[in-house]
Structure 1
């Protein structure tokens, strides 16, 4: 396996558009804090605006993603991104407006383009051959983690070195440029609504709930690392300024992990890999809470980043198995909302616990919650995949006269051509051969119908 099928001009154009659409998302929480930090209770107001932005994303992603039509996704994306850019521009233009108005614009900036990540991911996989889906998702993860590793320093430098509103102006400009870049890409992707077998979109999405729970668990660990790390460093007597380099190491580790994941096929089923990777991440975060040295914490966080990339990719690949192509963009949007909810829930839990326990204990409690979500998701996926019914067998003695009967398994019957179909009527039985007719070729079947990676 290699990235050769992904290295095309169309994928490069997609990467430019995705960067313009996703960098504002990575910039916004910190940019909102810098925007209002000089106002009375500025840090509290900044956290409230960031929460409004995330809530907008959580609401907007499933609401808009389920209404996107695959064959005409471009207008939907263009409107969402354009409105989001307007929200960022409004925040930068009126930083001294009343808090409710700022919160409304923050929620609008989060909600309007919230369906774009899922739609762009689906569009990316439509630009490459099916065999390269894992490599395409790995390349997307490398890009995403690269963006997240660069934006904190960029936002801090612009807000402190130029003006607090500049990061949000840049976010507005980047998102507006992504709207123009959409015309470099196909207008949508091919998807046949008939692949739903008559089921409604909402019912299909509900059946994939184990993937959403696992997704929420994976970002819960990231919430622990980002939100509790400064307090943990202070507990250890280490300068809080080390939080930035440590989190940059986490993001870079994730970028490396995503690249390595796409280089080869990995053993085991996707759901098994997901559980193993999540447990590995939990071990790494536990070590972060227990190791007293800065170097040990850095190594554990970087390893957690490597494993996080694999967990995220297995989650997306599992969702591709659970949903038909026509529901993938909506499924990715619901996943986007689920991971945002997991981040917010774990961050709130850790923040509440910090009033009563040490930061290391808060991290351990968050790890326990993450493992519980991982277990729930794994059990749900195991229960969702039922083994096929055993093939019917003939127990009585076979007659030596009359048409020959052949026992086949369901998998074999699916793989047979029309010419190999079993006789259904007496006339067809006579055509197949009567007494003394030569025995036909054995029926072939088998294979891996799921085509697991």
Structure 2
């Protein structure tokens, strides 16, 4: 079994710390809505707070990612988790505060820990042998989709059963535990010595097609999540099916992550794999807009989820190919910001279109936006390949890597 080599104490510890750090992030948007829903205009205020939280993530991701140093990433990740824990705890302790105060705390909760996910991914790939990196990233993908599948139910159950502030207090506590758990992991990952000639920054800029393709992929997820309830009403299907159908998408993604990791290599260049997979996911989401009945929609979503996870994995593997180790966390953070921007752009487009067209038409317009982004990424990828040795030279370390102590 290809995953057997990953069943080690360090990797299992990494899984526990990652769960503690990422579960609060996955719970955040819904928890913010429940926090203020009983106030006047509560749902609108909750949506604004969730948007501010996401803006904090998008703005902060590239800034903090560029500042993260591979050989001493632990203090920077600990600082980010501390800010996030304080932001979530503040929201839970002062749910009746002025909206501006809640917005500031939501911004901090989103901005503080945003680079931690990228740092943990780079840390994982540095902990395992090179031959198992694909399996390690597949394991991370399964863990991530599992967290995002469980988070809405956890946030809803706690908010309705124990109180609207309880999810936020739990999120703050979990992040604090994750902060403490960082000291059970290595302090950083191997990296070439820092150079002052801008090589790493040029490599980050040269990888822009990978970021654009990531944004394209997340536009599809936004369509699936945000337009699905309206589509079900259009089809005469009970809106209560939205939750199970989206859970099917997440479960399909978990299965796709597992299956992709069963082989260390798949046919074709990573760039081609990623393009083909994103186009296949696009076809699946388009089918959601065209097929009738909950069963057919569910089958299309499961198929889209099955391919979405490998599409994400190929993008992460592609970044490892074109970036030097010192720039990996920054590259992953920029990817995070790009996919967040893609999600926000698609959600905004869909929200505006729903006012004037049917939900199925709104999905197809979103699919068109995705295809446009895919085309831009494909053109950029061809130019990157044509540069050949020059592009590779920008990504090569100048000197032998250092060893990182625990």
Alignment TM class, shorter chain as reference? over 0.9
Q: Take 1:193 and 1:214, find their aligned partners in 2: how far apart are those partners? A: 30
| Cα distance per residue 1:65-94 (max 9 Å; x no partner) | 111111111111111101100100011111
Hey, what does 1:205 align to over in structure 2? 204
Hey, what does 1:84 align to over in structure 2? 84
Hey, what does 2:135 align to over in structure 1? 135
Q: Take 1:197 and 1:114, find their aligned partners in 2: how far apart are those partners? A: 26
Tell me the secondary structure at the aligned position of residue 4 of structure 1: helix
**TM-superposed deviation, 1:247:** 0.8
Hey, what does 2:246 align to over in structure 1? 247
**TM-superposed deviation, 1:231:** 0.8
Could you state the TM-score of these two structures normalised by the residue count of structure 2?
0.93
Q: Take 1:108 and 1:52, find their aligned partners in 2: how far apart are those partners? A: 9
Hey, what does 1:235 align to over in structure 2? 234
Q: Take 1:66 and 1:279, find their aligned partners in 2: how far apart are those partners? A: 30
Could you state the TM-score of these two structures normalised by the residue count of structure 1?
0.84
Tell me the secondary structure at the aligned position of residue 386 of structure 2: coil
Hey, what does 2:23 align to over in structure 1? 23
Check conservation: 2:200, 2:324, Cα contact below 8 A: no
Q: Superposition pairs for residues 265-284 of structure 1, below 5 Å?
A: 265-284=265-284
Q: Take 2:306 and 2:169, find their aligned partners in 1: how far apart are those partners? A: 33
| Cα distance per residue 1:284-303 (max 9 Å; x no partner) | 11111111100000010011
Q: Superposition pairs for residues 77-226 of structure 1, below 5 Å?
A: 77-193=77-193, 198-226=197-225
Check conservation: 1:65, 1:334, Cα contact below 8 A: yes
Tell me the secondary structure at the aligned position of residue 227 of structure 2: helix
Q: Take 1:22 and 1:70, find their aligned partners in 2: how far apart are those partners? A: 20
Hey, what does 1:54 align to over in structure 2? 54
| Cα distance per residue 1:376-400 (max 9 Å; x no partner) | 11110111112769xxxxxxxxxxx
Q: Take 1:55 and 1:70, find their aligned partners in 2: how far apart are those partners? A: 26
Q: 5+ unaligned residues in a row in structure 1: which ranges?
A: 390-453
**TM-superposed deviation, 1:197:** 9.0
Which is richer in helix?
2
Hey, what does 2:362 align to over in structure 1? 362
Check conservation: 2:49, 2:106, Cα contact below 8 A: yes
Hey, what does 2:288 align to over in structure 1? 288
Q: Take 1:373 and 1:192, find their aligned partners in 2: how far apart are those partners? A: 33
Check conservation: 1:211, 1:377, Cα contact below 8 A: yes
Hey, what does 1:68 align to over in structure 2? 68
**Quick one: higher RCO (CA 8 Å, sep 6+), 1 or 2?**
2
Q: Take 1:342 and 1:29, find their aligned partners in 2: how far apart are those partners? A: 17
The yes-or-no answer on 1:36 pairing with 2:36 is: yes
Check conservation: 2:70, 2:325, Cα contact below 8 A: no
Distance 1:176 1:210, change over 3 A: same
Hey, what does 1:450 align to over in structure 2? none
Distance 1:295 1:79, change over 3 A: same
Q: Take 2:5 and 2:197, find their aligned partners in 1: how far apart are those partners? A: 34
Tell me the secondary structure at the aligned position of residue 198 of structure 1: coil
| Cα distance per residue 1:16-57 (max 9 Å; x no partner) | 000011001110001111111111111111111000000000
Check conservation: 1:123, 1:188, Cα contact below 8 A: yes
Q: Take 2:3 and 2:210, find their aligned partners in 1: how far apart are those partners? A: 26
Hey, what does 2:13 align to over in structure 1? 13
Tell me the secondary structure at the aligned position of residue 10 of structure 1: helix
Tell me the secondary structure at the aligned position of residue 6 of structure 2: coil
Q: What is the number of residues matched between the two proteins?
A: 388
**TM-superposed deviation, 1:204:** 2.4
Q: Superposition pairs for residues 327-342 of structure 1, below 5 Å?
A: 327-342=327-342
Hey, what does 1:258 align to over in structure 2? 257
Instruction: Flag as ranges the 4+ runs of structure 1 deviating above 6 A.
Output: none
Check conservation: 1:252, 1:302, Cα contact below 8 A: yes
Tell me the secondary structure at the aligned position of residue 386 of structure 1: helix
Q: 5+ unaligned residues in a row in structure 2: which ranges?
A: 390-406
| Cα distance per residue 1:105-164 (max 9 Å; x no partner) | 101000011110110000000110011111110000000000011111111111111111
Q: Take 1:357 and 1:152, find their aligned partners in 2: how far apart are those partners? A: 29
Q: Take 1:42 and 1:292, find their aligned partners in 2: how far apart are those partners? A: 34
Q: Take 2:103 and 2:199, find their aligned partners in 1: how far apart are those partners? A: 35
| Cα distance per residue 1:167-215 (max 9 Å; x no partner) | 1111111111000100100111110136x69334433211110010001
Q: Take 2:91 and 2:240, find their aligned partners in 1: how far apart are those partners? A: 28
- The alignment's C-alpha RMSD in Å is 1.3
Check conservation: 2:211, 2:334, Cα contact below 8 A: yes
Hey, what does 1:433 align to over in structure 2? none
Q: Take 2:91 and 2:388, find their aligned partners in 1: how far apart are those partners? A: 55
Tell me the secondary structure at the aligned position of residue 186 of structure 1: coil
Tell me the secondary structure at the aligned position of residue 193 of structure 1: coil
